[in-house]
Amino acid sequence: MTIDTKALADKYGTPLYIYDFDYIENRYTTLKDAFAGKKSIINYAVKANSNLSVIAHLAKLGAGADCVSIGEVQRALTAGVDKYKIIFSGVGKRDDEIRSALEHDILLLNLESEAEMKRVELVAKELGKEARISIRVNPNIDPQTHPYISTGLHENKFGVEIDMAKRMYIYANKSEFLNPIGIHFHIGSQLTKLSPISEACIIVADLVRSLKAIKIDIKFFDVGGGVGVVYDDEVTISAEEYTQTIFEATKGLDVTLLCEPGRYMVANAGAFFTKVLYEKVNDDKRFVIVDGGMNDLIRPSLYNAYHKIEAVQLEDKEGNNEKTPADVVGPVCESGDFFGKDVPLPPLSHNDLIVIHSAGAYGFTMASNYNTRAKAAEVALQGGEDRLIRKRETYDDQVRLELEYLQK
Ligand SMILES: *Cc1c(COP(=O)(O)O)cnc(C)c1O
């Protein structure tokens, strides 16, 4: 992004999230083009960045939504996503969430256990509806990514084993209230290698063939999300390689291909802006203390994730401007509150800016109010214009749900 960092920081204040909507559009069309000639839907994984304007931007381009709570389903509907392009996944859906999803008549409920299937059947029966379902298969593939974002091994809580999936399909196919039309897997996030995706696709495509042989007609083949992005110097997967791998594995199957990219769509579109408050040196250790914290962007604290960090000095520093290593830390009362360690940075002064790159996915959506810190504002850049897409939160916003119960 070539943008006037200072002007944006002045206009909207810090800490601040900025998203490049043109970049998001480019990602969407690149991936959609790579599916050319096949029936496909790109179901944007809303949890990566669930700002309504981000979802609406993708919806206008034709994207569907992959949701993991009824709240996300509501966001998708509010933002204008076609209901027949919405999928509801997740290991722990409540009855009221299932009911609401069925009432909204979304494309698919993606089931992750036999017990959940029975619940969905019951709720569908109460409503006198037939629930369109897919089953999340756990193909037991090591995605070769961070263990916290690995989901496709039997040791992970997600999905069901192949044999169980088969039993569930046979059951669902006989049920008056279940219509098994989809199959799904999602083996992990930040995948940078094709082979795990290929292996998983092949295993699941074989299952589809054996289901078709017993007249269970799977129409939607959902390969999940997880395509990795560049945070540092990773070599990751291109859209073409990705879709070719999927085409190869599903050869001869008459299915609509679904995929659920989150990070791929938005991570590199976003940056987090924060201001320098102070510098300090403890012994020989240099700290740059900024006005954003782990409550705004938790990925470094939670996964030890790397984000490229750059400084924008507001005035030319006279004399020595040499970069030396510094830990960039926030004001939150936790030693884990950092954005980067030993980051080479020039001497910084109060109000200089720090830009934390690739913060468009799992940034704002994982933000909290820890330490009664208000959530940051969010801004969109599109066609050379900037616009607010979420106001900065206030103290009043934070205490609203408590104040009326306060007894002094
Ligand atoms: C989180 C998630 C995604 C998106 O993952 P990314 O790594 O952001 O692409 C897709 N599908 C499911 C079921 C998920 O849980």
| 3-class secondary-structure state, position 285 | strand
CA of 395 to the centre of ligand 1 (A): 32
Atom of ligand 1 nearest to the CA of 191: 7
pTM of the predicted model, to two decimals? 0.96
Q: What is the pLDDT of residue 2?
A: 56
Q: What is the pLDDT of residue 1?
A: 46
Which contacts (CB < 8 Å, 24+ apart) does range 326-329 have? 326/279, 326/286, 326/287, 326/288, 327/285, 327/286, 327/287, 327/288, 328/287, 328/288, 328/290, 328/354, 329/287, 329/288, 329/289, 329/290
Contact 52, 309 (CB under 8 A): no
Rounded-to-integer distance, Cα 259 and Cα 224, Å: 5
Contact 270, 359 (CB under 8 A): yes
Q: 């910084």: which residue's tokens?
A: 348
Rounded-to-integer distance, Cα 338 and Cα 340, Å: 6
Residue 259 is among the residues annotated as catalytic for this protein? no
Contact 242, 194 (CB under 8 A): yes
Best of 93, 108, 158, 260 to mutate for ligand 1, by most ligand atoms within 8 A of CB? 260
Q: Which residues of 244-274 are buried (b: 16+ CB within 10 A; e: fewer)?
A: ebbeebbeeeebbbbbbbbbbbbbbbbbbbb
Spatial neighbors of 166 by CB under 8 A, at least 6 apart, are 207, 210, 211
Rounded-to-integer distance, Cα 221 and Cα 223, Å: 6
CA of 327 to the centre of ligand 1 (A): 30
Residue type, 35: F
CA of 146 to the centre of ligand 1 (A): 14
Residue 391, classified by CB atoms within 10 Å of its CB into exposed (0-12), middle (13-18) or buried (19+), is exposed
Q: What is the pLDDT of residue 141?
A: 87
Please give all residues whose beta carbon lies within 6 A of any atom in ligand 1, as ranges.
45, 47-48, 66, 68, 89, 186, 189, 224-226, 260-264, 361
Q: What is the pLDDT of residue 23?
A: 98
For 142-156, write each residue's pLDDT tens digit: 887 766 666 766 677
For 133-191, write each residue's pLDDT tens digit: 999 999 988 887 766 666 766 677 788 999 999 999 999 999 999 999 999 999 999 99
Q: Whose CA is nearest to atom 10 of ligand 1?
A: 225
Closest CA to 153 of 131, 186, 193, 110: 186
- Rounded (to 5) percent helix, strand, coil in the chain: 35, 25, 40
| Residues of the chain where predicted confidence (pLDDT) is lower than 50 | 1
Atom of ligand 1 nearest to the CA of 260: 10
Domains of the chain, start order: 5-16+268-403 (2.40.37.10), 35-261 (3.20.20.10)
Atom of ligand 1 nearest to the CA of 149: 7
